[in-house]
């Protein structure tokens, strides 16, 4: 099967300092790919380069057979590529409902209402807090909102940056179970950046390990993980 | 007592203009973190356009329409041609660019229209209506209050009830997240500058006939009062700008009425200083104090 996402020789960074060093990666449709690695390995930079928030210095990102070079962030969402940034980037001054509606403003089809209702069904607590402001939500509710907001746009590829950060194990398990279910039922493809190795591996079809801006290995034995995180 | 009532109503009408002008500053500050020092000059340019159109058509209303349309266009052009590029260099560059625009616009207006004061007519009488022998409020002041109130309501509906308003609020609070959700933040900023410049143009159209007349620097003092209104309200708060504007207008009216009009510029600065000393973030701010 042709990969949904193909990354070749991707080099990117901030202000001339490269953080990603010729990264190659391919993700098959309807799979969950975990990207593991220590702090500073370049995981977040990889996701930001994929969604277009930073411009790569070299290399290319091919999504669904289309080179994304020069496609602005706003248009990548329209192609079905959704990015949930680290730290549950809920717009704190807007209500839950406004946060969700924001994600579908660009859609012109008739199913917007139905999709919004589905997200509320999926995440019960959000329906109860519809008119609450973003800053009034708990960490778990914010993650649900950030995830629901990405899903309501109907993405084919979901880029998730550290969804488990600061959440209770039970909430993490619920979110990962949901991702696995969406993969199986709707064919959603997920790139899951995680520090929490055990939970990531529990749902991932495939994992890669990053260290110092490179994908070092597609092998996630205990020895390679120890090497990636601890350096020996 | 009658004098007090008259001064209060007169101050509210004047304050409504400061409120509109301050609101325009707040719109741009929220969206871009830039104090638009060029807003007065842009507003005067729109008023000159109105002056030309009114001269050609003989109608005040066509002139008003031209001022609003001209404001929209000027605001959009300034964002597209200047601010978008100046903003990439650093946080201070847009402010310097705005000050440069003031010099450029005022010089151009002087070259085209001359540096004389052109008296401007009002569509309604400026003599106060008398009720049981007391001077109360002029029809023009009522028109000013009505016009500003209408614009505030339209803006409140735009921001609170429409998709465009949701985009504008989201882009102001969280530009990066908004882009990730498909909001074309660049276009939203252009629209924000256009709307702010149109509101500024309206303020100029309302206030210039009540002062010395049309002149390239006619809005300089109004800018100081409008800026004070916005700062008193807390720069980030549209409601604050409106309350601040009305407050500044009433205070200036009392000072002018009881102490003489020479004292009003000093009173504006004293008010600004007092608020900044007692509550640096402004009366309606949500942050506790300004970052240093």
pLDDT mean over B159-186: 94
Q: What is the pLDDT of residue B30?
A: 87
Residue B290, pLDDT score: 44
Query: Looking at chain B, which residue has its C-alpha nearest residue A83?
Result: B180
Domain range holding A163? 5-91+157-230
Q: Do A35 and A60 form a contact (C-beta atoms < 8 A)? A: no
Q: Is residue A39 part of a domain?
A: yes
Please judge whether A51 and B181 are an interchain contact, meaning their C-beta atoms are less than 8 angstroms apart: no
Residue A168 pLDDT greater than 60, yes or no: yes
| Predicted local distance difference test score (pLDDT) of residue A232 | 58
- A167 is a domain residue: yes
**Phi, psi at A25, each rounded to 5°:** -160, 140
Selected residues 75-114 of chain A with any CB under 8 Å from a CB in chain B: 77-78, 82-83, 85, 89, 91-94, 98, 101-103, 105-106
pLDDT at B126: 86
- Whichever domain contains A168, its CATH number is 3.40.50.300
ipTM of this complex prediction, to 2 decimal places: 0.91
Q: What is the pLDDT of residue A231?
A: 61
A53 pLDDT higher than 90: yes
Q: Does position A1 have pLDDT exceeding 80, yes or no?
A: no
pLDDT higher than 70, residue A221: no
Q: Report the residue of A75, A79, A91 to disrupt the B interface, i.e. the one with the largest count of B CBs within 10 Å.
A: A91
* pLDDT surpasses 70 at B12: yes
Number of domains in chain A: 1
Residue A152 placed within a domain: no
Phi (first) and psi of residue B290, to 5 degrees = -70, 145
pLDDT of A103 strictly over 50: yes
Residue B132's pLDDT is 78
The answer to the question of residue A120 being in a domain is: no
Give percent above pLDDT 70 in chain A.
93
């Amino acid at each position: 099967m042709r990969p949904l996402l193909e990354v070749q020789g991707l080099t990117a960074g901030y202000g001339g300092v490269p953080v990603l060093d010729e990264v190659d990666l391919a993700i098959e449709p309807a799979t969950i790919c975990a990207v593991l690695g220590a702090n500073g390995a370049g995981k977040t930079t990889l996701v930001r380069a994929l969604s277009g928030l930073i411009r790569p210095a070299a290399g290319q990102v091919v999504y669904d057979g289309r080179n994304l070079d020069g496609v602005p962030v706003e248009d990548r969402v329209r192609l079905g590529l959704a990015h949930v940034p680290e730290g549950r980037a809920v717009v704190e001054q807007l209500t839950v409902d406004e946060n969700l509606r924001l994600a579908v403003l660009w859609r012109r089809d008739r199913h917007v209402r139905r999709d919004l209702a589905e997200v509320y069904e999926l995440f019960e607590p959000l329906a109860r807090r519809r008119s609450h402001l973003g800053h009034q939500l708990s960490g778990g509710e914010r993650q649900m909102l950030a995830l629901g907001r990405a899903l309501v746009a109907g993405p084919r590829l979901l880029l998730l940056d550290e969804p488990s950060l600061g959440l209770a194990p039970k909430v993490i398990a619920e979110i990962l179970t949901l991702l696995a279910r969406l993969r199986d039922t709707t064919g959603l493809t997920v790139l899951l950046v995680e520090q929490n190795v055990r939970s990531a591996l529990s749902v991932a079809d495939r994992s890669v390990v990053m260290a110092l801006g490179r994908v070092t290995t597609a092998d996630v034995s205990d020895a390679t993980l120890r090497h990636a995180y601890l350096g020996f | 007592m009658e004098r007090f009532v008259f001064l209060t109503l007169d101050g509210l009408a004047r304050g409504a203009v400061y409120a509109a002008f301050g609101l325009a500053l707040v719109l741009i500050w929220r969206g871009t973190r830039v104090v638009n020092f060029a807003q007065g000059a842009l507003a005067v340019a729109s008023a000159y356009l109105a002056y030309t159109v009114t001269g050609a058509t003989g109608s005040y209303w066509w002139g008003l329409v031209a001022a609003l349309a001209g404001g929209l266009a000027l605001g959009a052009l300034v964002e597209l041609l200047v601010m978008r590029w100046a903003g990439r260099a650093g946080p201070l560059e847009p402010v310097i660019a705005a000050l440069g625009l003031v010099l450029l616009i005022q010089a151009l207006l002087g070259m085209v229209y001359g540096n004389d004061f052109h008296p401007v007519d009002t569509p309604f009488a400026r003599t106060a209506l008398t009720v049981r022998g007391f001077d109360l409020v002029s029809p023009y002041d009522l028109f000013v209050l009505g016009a500003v109130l209408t614009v505030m309501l339209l803006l409140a509906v735009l921001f609170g009830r429409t998709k465009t308003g949701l985009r504008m609020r989201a882009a102001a609070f969280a530009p990066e997240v908004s882009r990730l959700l498909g909001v074309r933040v660049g276009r939203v900023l252009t629209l924000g500058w256009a709307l702010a410049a149109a509101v500024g143009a309206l303020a100029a159209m309302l206030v210039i006939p009540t002062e010395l007349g049309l002149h390239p620097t006619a809005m300089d003092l109004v800018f100081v009062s409008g800026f004070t209104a916005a700062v008193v309200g807390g720069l980030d708060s549209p409601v604050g700008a409106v309350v601040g504007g009305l407050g500044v207008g009433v205070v200036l009216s009392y000072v002018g009425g009881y102490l003489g009009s020479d004292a009003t510029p000093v009173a504006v600065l004293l008010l600004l200083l007092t608020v900044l000393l007692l509550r640096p973030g402004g009366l309606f701010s949500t942050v506790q104090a300004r970052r240093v």
